[in-house]
Structure 1
Amino acid sequence: MKFNPDIHHRKSLRFKHYDYRQNGLYFITICCKNRQCLLGNIVDDEMNLNNLGEMVRKCWLKIQNYYPQVNLHPFVIMPNHIHGIIEIASNENWGECDSPLHNQSTFNGTSQTIGAMIRGFKAGVTSWARKNTEHYDIWQRNYYEHIIRNEKSYNQIIEYIENNPILWEQDRFYNS
């Protein structure tokens, strides 16, 4: 079907004028396509990763290798999604930013954004999966992100991450 802007439009989940290279803490959720349980299973309130889930863990930890300005905080891999906190600790190499809100060219520095990090992570997992499993499409389009603005929110998110396997059946991403 030929592109038709009246029906082929996707609404971005991101803040329109927010600079996602900005120092800060970001709570990220990435879901498997159609919420399929591809990454392992919960047994006795603990997540047991399968081979694909283990590769997700390895690729998540490798984010810091490609983005030295990033610190990874607690994360959890669930049967059909991953939650994690990514901290951008320094943007010194990108120039001065007076405020996280900017009107910037879409081509200016996109390789250092949260979106670029997630794209690289998803691509790494997908590449491995296509070579080593029967799964071709791993991820749903896009990801969820929440900008963590204070310590109370940070602590609540860490508690949520830590308790996610225990509360799996009440999770909004639960798919039996």
Structure 2
Amino acid sequence: MSRFRRARVPAASYFFTVVLADRRSDLLTRHIDLLRETVRATQLRHPFHINAWVTLPDHLHCIWTLPEGDANFALRWKVIKFGFSKRLPVGEVRTATQRARGERGIWQRRYWEHLIRDEQDYQRHVEYIHFNPVKHGHVGAVKDWPYSSFHRAVREGLYPQDWGGDFAVETGGWGE
């Protein structure tokens, strides 16, 4: 079995990708209020700052900054995944092992984590997060995706409302 090595640096910023087990599902956007509530409750018990976030139907990307002396992002993801899952009715496909252990089959077990190294790395990942709904064809312009911290960044004057352009206008649409 592979042994994953994760960077654990207290008070650092990390980029994450967290994915549903069923990549065809729209569970995250269909239950966006539950996801938001679960994240807020986790933040109260285990503080962290959300620098950027986007939720798509089947996965999410985000950047967090952890508090001084704290590098335990794994605990936070465990709490978020468990808290979200336990409040949904059981209906997903589960393996025999998951059923025997009383586990849900909602999330992929692992997630992608990247320690942000410098300001350029940070900016690249923030832009990746905000452009992701366009990349996946959910909208033609970044401003049109409602489940993104992009809107907060616009309010804070970090981005103009039309950042990222209008993909459908600029290219004539997807697949051309």
Q: Do they superpose with TM above 0.5?
A: yes
Specify whether residues 57 and 13 from structure 1 end up closer, same or farther in structure 2 by C-alpha distance, changes over 3 A only: farther
Which of 81, 85, 88 does residue 122 from structure 1 map onto? 81
* Aligned: 1:12 with 2:3: yes
TM-score computed with the length of structure 1 as normaliser = 0.64
C-alpha contact (below 8 Å) 2:22/2:106 kept by paired residues: no
Question: Where does residue 134 of structure 1 map in the other structure?
Answer: 91
Unpaired stretches in structure 2, ≥5 consecutive residues: 93-103, 139-176
Displacement of 1:64:
1.7
C-alpha contact (below 8 Å) 2:50/2:64 kept by paired residues: yes
Q: Note the 1:73-92 alignment, pairs <5 A.
A: 73-91=51-69
Structure (1/2) with the larger strand percentage:
1
TM-score computed with the length of structure 2 as normaliser = 0.64
Question: Where does residue 60 of structure 1 map in the other structure?
Answer: 39
C-alpha contact (below 8 Å) 1:39/1:78 kept by paired residues: no
C-alpha contact (below 8 Å) 2:27/2:57 kept by paired residues: yes
Runs of at least 4 residues of structure 1 off by over 6 A?
Answer: none
Unpaired stretches in structure 1, ≥5 consecutive residues: 1-8, 41-48, 95-111, 171-176
Specify whether residues 62 and 12 from structure 1 end up closer, same or farther in structure 2 by C-alpha distance, changes over 3 A only: farther
Structure (1/2) with the larger helix percentage:
2
Report which stretch shifted further, 135-144 or 53-62.
53-62
C-alpha contact (below 8 Å) 1:32/1:38 kept by paired residues: no
Percent identity (aligned): 25
The whole-number CA distance in structure 2 between the counterparts of 1:55 and 1:12 is: 32
Which of 18, 24, 30 does residue 30 from structure 1 map onto? 18
RMSD over aligned Cα, in angstroms?
A: 2.2
Q: Quick one: higher RCO (CA 8 Å, sep 6+), 1 or 2? A: 1
CA offsets per residue over residues 108-138 of structure 1, 9 Å max, x none? Answer: xxxx6111111111000110113xx634521
